[in-house]
A and B are shown apart, each in its own frame.
Chain A
């Protein structure tokens, strides 16, 4: 339905539509890549944020010992 109508439109417009199609596909490419990047960033943040804080904290001065991470004292 919608795809047939768009094919008809493409046939009629000819060269003009090709140029705009390339422009819109570049924008689509950028959008797809940025969505992919945001999804990966979300997963990385979800799993890596707390370990990152722990690594930064264990390396700050004065360096705490490893057992202090787990013991309640």
Chain B
């Protein structure tokens, strides 16, 4: 709704202009004239490259296809719109949540909670707040200070002392680059920068510094996309290499694969998944190199009523998670 409008404010990629661009750039300059009739390769306007995807969303197609929000138990979400911009949401969850533990197997803790949320979505200001029955608050604020400068704030506040987290982001969007500055609690400072190098390729870099633990890191990322595929790669000084590839096979089907290597723990994970976006449902499935497979189905029963099924099976760890739920409202 409102948030998509601010994304649309990014300048659309201009059509390749016939104006004289620097020589020996476009393929049309090198090919003989006859081939112009068949398939005229577009001339690249190197001075007017499109604005790249924000750095943190560089793998968003792969994440959307391969990492749906799997859950175990019952989930019910109700969103009530009072206004075009203002809505309240009520959400009930009863089931097990995984708590990461030091041992190799994760702990499953049965939890039940009710979450109340309020959203205000304006093209220039977005406020999202969610509060749980145990007093935890998730707050997100996004405000467009000018056409190119955006401020975002993200906070998780708890009643227990020293467990709250907050982060401020300042984003600046240029014609063919984006830069971001992050300031978080525990003296976390980070920044990233991504630049369009060609109409299909963008390169980015990020750097962060943790004050309390005196750790710093630097990372590089690249994203190559055409109309039908997206390939990304990320390397970080924390020893992580992540590659992903998404291919859009047709309007309704896309296939995605993902590879992650952690040099410090010598851990390699690879996964392969599919994403079917059909008229009445969206089905995502994936299989992992750890032998786990998962599926997530969202079926549209009626206008605004969605039925959700989630399953994750890991025979090696003997972990079976099945969940079902309903989402009412937009």
Contacts and interface: CB of A to CB of B under 8 A. Distances in A.
Interface in A45-59: 45-46, 49-50, 52-54, 56-58
Interface residues of A, number: 17
Given A50-B118, A53-B127, A58 B80 contact: no
A46 B157 CA distance: 7
B123 interface: no
Contact of A64 (B86, B128, B137): B86
Interface in B111-150: 116-120, 122, 127-129, 131, 137, 139
Given A54-B118, A58-B86, A72 B131 contact: no
27 contacts: A42-B157, A45-B157, A46-B157, A49-B139, A50-B118, A50-B131, A50-B137, A53-B118, A53-B119, A53-B120, A53-B128, A54-B118, A56-B86, A56-B120, A56-B127, A57-B83, A57-B86, A57-B118, A58-B86, A60-B85, A60-B86, A60-B120, A62-B84, A64-B86, A68-B82, A72-B78, A72-B80
Q: Is the interface of A mostly helix, strand, loop or mixed?
A: helix
Q: Is the interface of B mostly helix, strand, loop or mixed?
A: strand
Nearest to B122: A60
Given A46-B137, A52-B127, A53-B127, 20 more contacts: A45-B155, A45-B157, A49-B137, A49-B139, A50-B117, A50-B118, A53-B118, A53-B119, A53-B120, A57-B83, A58-B86, A60-B85, A60-B86, A60-B120, A62-B83, A64-B82, A64-B83, A68-B82, A69-B88, A72-B80
A52 B127 CA distance: 9
Contacts of A69: 82, 88
Interface string A18-46: 00000000000000000000000010011
Contact of B82 (A49, A57, A72): A57
Q: Which of A42, A49, A52 has most chain B Cβ within 10 Å? A: A49
Contacts of A60: 83, 85-86, 120, 122
Contacts of B157: 42, 45-46
A61 B88 CA distance: 16
B164 interface: yes
What 6 A-B pairs are tightest by C-beta distance, nearest first? A57-B86, A64-B82, A53-B118, A50-B129, A46-B157, A53-B127
Nearest to A52: B127
Contact of A49 (B122, B129, B164): B129
A40 to B, nearest CB: 13
Interface of A: 42, 45-46, 49-50, 52-54, 56-58, 60, 62, 64, 68-69, 72
Interface residues of B, number: 23
Contacts of B120: 53, 56-57, 60
Interface string B68-100: 000000000010101111101000000000000
A45 B88 CA distance: 19
Contacts of A57: 82-83, 85-86, 118, 120
Q: Which of B80, B116, B128 has most chain A Cβ within 10 Å? A: B80
A65 to B, nearest CB: 8
A68 B127 CA distance: 20
B187 to A, nearest CB: 12
Contacts of B128: 53
Nearest to A41: B166
Contacts of A56: 86, 120, 127
Contacts of A54: 118
Nearest to B88: A69
Interface string B22-49: 0000000000000000000000000000
A69 B89 CA distance: 11
B233 to A, nearest CB: 38
